[in-house]
Chains A and B, each alone.
Chain A
């Protein structure tokens, strides 16, 4: 399979973030076209395209939009999820920094389709300071051309966008955590139902969509649903950005029709494994996705196939772990992440993630106990499905999959108080750890 340039068509042009370059490439034609249609027609085209959310869950976008009630008592909102905090994910940043107008155009069309009120927010992680300045500038340009503001394209539709910076909290990527954070609160997820489509931000119906999802929308409007379905396979359609990092020679963001195999992506496009070593494990969809082993690399990277293999495509953040890395230490680092990022609302998640981190660390330090592998599975069992939001379920993915697939490596730590020969820990144990 050859890499494609569909979502990334503009990013290598000089000055790609400017509105002039975007307009020269046919920019804002899709918005003009969509705003001449009825909102339901726009939604129908997106439904027909079988576009699924690129933020993690792969939920059909057109269907999500159609859940928004008409004539709700409070204003309807569109929120763009640009939190991009899932470890291993760095695709939205490419669009934000190098083709911000594609995102803005996608938001105009999507907002029109759902009947949005005149204000919308891009929730961008606070660390993306540069991205926020690029977006602010692009929004200024779009306002100056009348693509944002009152009566856009003479359609009577008023719409504007504000960049809302987060401040360092992974949980604000979860859609209800994000909503809380836009409202100025601690980003603690809400109990569902009510779902955001009914009661979301400021009490109004709310659609939260990922940057890449929204960036697909102008392409679909311009080229049609059939064209979009020409990429990938049924129910897993469209061009897709894959982020590859970790132990590969050429890490980066790659665009392919949805469904390239892991093996082809890693070996033919990313130059293979660092030092020509072997693959030990691959995380296919960001830190939350259960690990796959070297035997599972033929897997096509689409939502359904990865799900069937017991993992998830998630945000398509592919992290490659080679044979020389201690798997227990890799999992410890992910467990530490989830322990740090648990919002603390539910006891199983708050306490459990910390305990998983502790047990993994004690294995590394040579204090592991015979029952620790099973203890980890037991803890995972007490977190999964027993917490309020999907972070709890995410936190156990790497733990369960690695204990099941690399149990011998866990047991080696208990018996020999060291890592499996040929594997190393990529940190020292003597430097004080920052507290959570």
Chain B
């Protein structure tokens, strides 16, 4: 049988492994309980709970999908439908630094593609892939709402504005 591509819908990585149980840490559980008090029903807390899960584990694994479904009385399919709809939920692990380069028009005019294409080339990764050492993931993203200080590169949660190829290089060197 041919090898399955890891992104394939049939790839074993896409299914929850019953042997691997995940659970929120006590602090996360506290945040979870608070979130539920802010909404009239459990389902409405799904987006913030997924953010919480991603903070905990860095991505939303199939096991996390099942776990969260269980917490909120939702089917795994419903949870996964939401995870896959929104860009920010990582469906596979990302590097320690998720480098998200905006290439939408204003940033493009500021030569964002030089930054983006240069990074892919220098790190020898395909867009959306992670370097073998697990340090960087390079992703092209849509307008970050910061076009006045284009080009913008978001690394994890932080915006870096008025970027150039050189500035990004210097910045990445400071990331250990």
Question: Could you say which residues of chain A place their CB within 8 Å of the CB of B159?
Answer: 130
Give the residue name and chain of the A residue nearest to B54 (CB): A167
Does B45 make an interface contact (CB < 8 A)? yes
Question: Could you say which residues of chain B place their CB within 8 Å of the CB of A317?
Answer: 147
Q: Does the CB pair A127–B126 fall under 8 Å?
A: no
Q: What is the CB-to-nearest-CB distance from B146 to chain A, in angstroms, rounded to a whole number? A: 5
Q: Does the CB pair B109–A128 fall under 8 Å?
A: no
The number of chain B residues touching the other chain, given as a range, is 35 or more
Does B104 make an interface contact (CB < 8 A)? yes
Q: Does the CB pair B148–A126 fall under 8 Å?
A: no
Question: Could you say which residues of chain B place their CB within 8 Å of the CB of A220?
Answer: none
Give A170 to B46 CA distance when docked, in angstroms. 18
Give A243 to B41 CA distance when docked, in angstroms. 38
Q: What is the CB-to-nearest-CB distance from B143 to chain A, in angstroms, rounded to a whole number? A: 4
Among B8-16, B18-26, B149-157, B167-175, the stretch in contact with A: B149-157
Given A167-B51, A341-B142: A426 in contact with B127 (beta carbons within 8 A): no
Among A183-191, A365-373, A374-382, the stretch in contact with B: A183-191
Among candidates B109, B139, B145, residue contacting A246 with C-beta atoms closer than 8 Å: B109
Question: Could you say which residues of chain A place their CB within 8 Å of the CB of B140?
Answer: 434
The number of chain A residues touching the other chain, given as a range, is 35 or more
Question: Could you say which residues of chain B place their CB within 8 Å of the CB of A340?
Answer: 142
Q: Does the CB pair B105–A334 fall under 8 Å?
A: yes
Q: Does the CB pair B88–A164 fall under 8 Å?
A: no
Question: Could you say which residues of chain B place their CB within 8 Å of the CB of A337?
Answer: 104, 142-143
Give the residue name and chain of the A residue nearest to B112 (CB): A426
Question: Could you say which residues of chain B place their CB within 8 Å of the CB of A166?
Answer: 47, 86
Question: Could you say which residues of chain A place their CB within 8 Å of the CB of B85?
Answer: 169, 186-187, 343
Does A146 make an interface contact (CB < 8 A)? no
Give A169 to B39 CA distance when docked, in angstroms. 21
Among candidates B47, B117, B144, B148, residue contacting A253 with C-beta atoms closer than 8 Å: B148
Among A42-50, A81-89, A302-310, A384-392, the stretch in contact with B: A81-89
Residues of B within 8 A of A (CB): 38-41, 43-48, 50-51, 72, 81-82, 85-89, 103-106, 108-109, 111, 113, 116-117, 120-121, 126-128, 139-150, 154, 157-159
The 10 closest A-B pairs by CB, nearest first: A168-B87, A167-B86, A184-B46, A245-B147, A427-B113, A168-B88, A87-B143, A245-B106, A129-B157, A434-B127
Q: Known contacts A251-B148, A319-B147; can you find 15 more A-B pairs with CB under 8 A?
A: A90-B148, A130-B159, A165-B48, A166-B47, A167-B50, A167-B89, A184-B46, A185-B82, A251-B149, A319-B105, A333-B108, A343-B85, A426-B111, A431-B127, A434-B139
